[in-house]
């Protein structure tokens, strides 16, 4: 067993939105090997390119203690493995542990006595010890908490946020024994200036992580439902929220499409575990149902308003501004906009997709539509402002309005416009 953090030699598995920032931060303190199964990702990072746009070429090439690889042979010196692979849901909204279990198998085949495996991927309570540890034991031939040990420190990365970076977000830590819990906590305290919270067990840390985003999901579901109600009452939702926010303890959540790899996913991990023990989580599932249906609601409200204005729906030209799952981020996976686009396709509308943050090849692959790179004036019957990128704010309200025909509908989901300039708002 390793007793001193100075003796830990780190290998980070998965170099996406979570793993890469973690690898860079740790490499400021010690040598780190960053591994990803995607050969192109490794090739790009070695040349100083981060397609996620989180780090510049200069930032990547200045990491003297960080080595990128897609070969496990380079892990010979590693005795502390940090796993940061995705934990998505499948089409039935059930946890897809495939990447996590594959990473566990891969590490199980190379770990040695005394090694430490730390998981950062979001899971349900009990997953590390019930699902991952047996795989580590099977493929290593070693015994848990005797020959190797585990920790869990859930990621709290906020993609696109240059203010709340990894070092100044408080980190939850935990370990499979009290000594390992101390070791994991001391390790992360080396890079987390905001400090850590040492949970009493891995299960507690897993549960704490999964409820963070479940709570946010429920709060957003509430304001989404209120927005639909206020729309029927002809009350502006933003006006209501601003008035309510004048009280110090009102929570300032906003309505909108809910996507991404956390808020739209984590509640399903918790509900899966709940159902497996015979507990039906009614409130959590109700919130998910509301947020999952927001894309359908947005599409139907846009079409309904266009019909009111006698705009012919079939063949109408509609612009969707913003395709990523959140502002100022390049990731289009699990974006709430996807449902809106699929619904509008059913009406045989001509869709233009525009997002200067997103990768155009990925957009075309996902939607079968070639995104536009320039905006043309006076051609749109309808427009949806789905994401409030800073770049859209820079374009300006006046210039965006010029993109539309005289008779048009603008649906502003993010309160980007003054309310008198748009037709619909959430």
In SS3 terms, the chain reads as CCCCHHHCCEEEECCCCCHHHHHHHHCCCCCEEEECCCHHHHHHHHCCCCCCCCCCHHHHHCCCCEEEECCHHHHCCCCEEEECCCCCECCCCCECCHHHHHHHHHHHCCCCCCCEEEECCCCCCCHHHHHHHHHHHHHHCCCECCCEEEEECCCCCCCCCCCCCHHHCCEEECECCHHHHHHHHHHHHCCCCCCEEECCCHHHHHHHHHHHHHHHHHHHHHHHHHHHHHHHCCCCHHHHHHHHCCCCCCCCCCCCCCCCCCCCCHHHHHHHHHHHCCCCCHHHHHHHHHHHCHHHHHHHHHHHHHHHCCCCCCCCEEEEECCCCCCCCCCCCCCCHHHHHHHHHCCCCEEEEECCCCCHHHHHHHHCCCCCCCCCCCCEEEEEECCCCHHHHHHCHHHHHCCEEEEEEEEECCCCCCHHHCCEEC
Residue 232: the pLDDT is 94
* Token digits of residue 48: 């100083």
CATH fold for domain 293-425: Rossmann fold (3.40.50)
Closest CA to 266 of 284, 283, 247, 253: 284
Residue 144: the pLDDT is 97
CATH superfamily of 5-200: NAD(P)-binding Rossmann-like Domain (3.40.50.720)
Task: Confirm if 113 and 104 have CB atoms less than 8 A apart.
Answer: no
Q: Which residues of the chain have pLDDT under 70?
A: none
Greatest distance between any 2 Cα atoms in the chain: 73
Q: Which residues are catalytic?
A: 262
Residue 61: the pLDDT is 85
**Can you tell me which residue has the tokens 């400021």?**
28
Residue 183: the pLDDT is 97
Q: Where in the chain is the domain with CATH 3.40.50.720?
A: 5-200, 293-425
Q: How many CA atoms lie within 13 A of 37 on its CB side?
A: 10
Residue 64: the pLDDT is 85
pTM here is 0.92
Residue 264: the pLDDT is 85
pLDDT tens-digit readout, 315-357: 999 999 999 988 888 888 888 999 999 999 999 999 999 999 9
């Amino acid at each position: 067993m390793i007793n001193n953090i100075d003796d830990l030699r780190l290998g980070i598995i998965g170099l996406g939105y979570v793993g890469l920032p973690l690898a860079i931060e740790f490499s400021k303190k010690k040598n780190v090997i960053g591994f990803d199964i995607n050969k192109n990702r490794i090739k790009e990072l070695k040349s100083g390119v981060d397609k996620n746009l989180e780090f510049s070429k200069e930032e990547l090439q200045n990491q003297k203690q960080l080595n990128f690889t897609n070969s496990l042979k380079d892990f010979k010196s590693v005795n502390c493995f940090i796993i940061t692979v995705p934990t998505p849901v499948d089409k039935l909204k059930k946890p897809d542990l495939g990447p996590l279990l594959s990473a566990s198998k891969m590490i199980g085949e190379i770990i040695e006595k005394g090694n430490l495996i730390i998981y950062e991927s979001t899971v349900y309570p009990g997953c590390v010890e019930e699902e991952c540890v047996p795989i580590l034991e099977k493929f290593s031939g070693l015994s848990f908490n005797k020959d190797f040990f585990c920790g869990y420190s859930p990621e709290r990365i906020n993609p696109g946020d240059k203010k709340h970076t990894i070092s100044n977000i408080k980190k939850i830590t935990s370990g499979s024994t009290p000594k390992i819990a101390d070791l994991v906590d001391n390790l992360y305290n080396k890079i987390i200036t905001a400090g850590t919270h040492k949970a009493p067990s891995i299960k507690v840390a897993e549960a704490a992580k999964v409820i963070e985003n479940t709570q946010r999901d429920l709060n957003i579901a509430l304001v989404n439902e209120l927005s639909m109600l206020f729309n029927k009452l002809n009350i502006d939702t933003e006006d209501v929220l601003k008035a309510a926010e004048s009280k110090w303890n009102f929570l300032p959540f906003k309505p909108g499409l809910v996507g991404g790899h956390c808020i739209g996913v984590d509640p399903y991990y918790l509900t899966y575990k709940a159902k497996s023990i015979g507990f039906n989580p009614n409130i959590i599932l109700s919130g998910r149902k509301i947020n999952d249906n927001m894309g359908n609601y947005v599409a139907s409200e846009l079409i309904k308003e266009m019909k009111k204005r006698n705009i012919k729906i079939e063949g109408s030209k509609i612009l969707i501004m913003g395709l990523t799952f959140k502002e100022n981020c390049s990731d289009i996976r699990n974006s709430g906009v996807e449902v809106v686009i699929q619904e509008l396709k059913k009406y045989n509308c001509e869709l233009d997709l525009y997002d200067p943050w997103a990768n155009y090849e990925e957009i075309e692959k996902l939607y079968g539509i070639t995104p536009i790179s320039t905006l043309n004036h006076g051609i749109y019957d309808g427009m949806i402002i789905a994401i409030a990128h800073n770049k859209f704010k820079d374009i300006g309200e006046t210039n965006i309005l010029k993109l539309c025909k005289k008779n048009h509908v603008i649906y502003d989901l993010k309160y980007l416009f003054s309310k008198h300039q748009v037709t619909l708002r959430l």
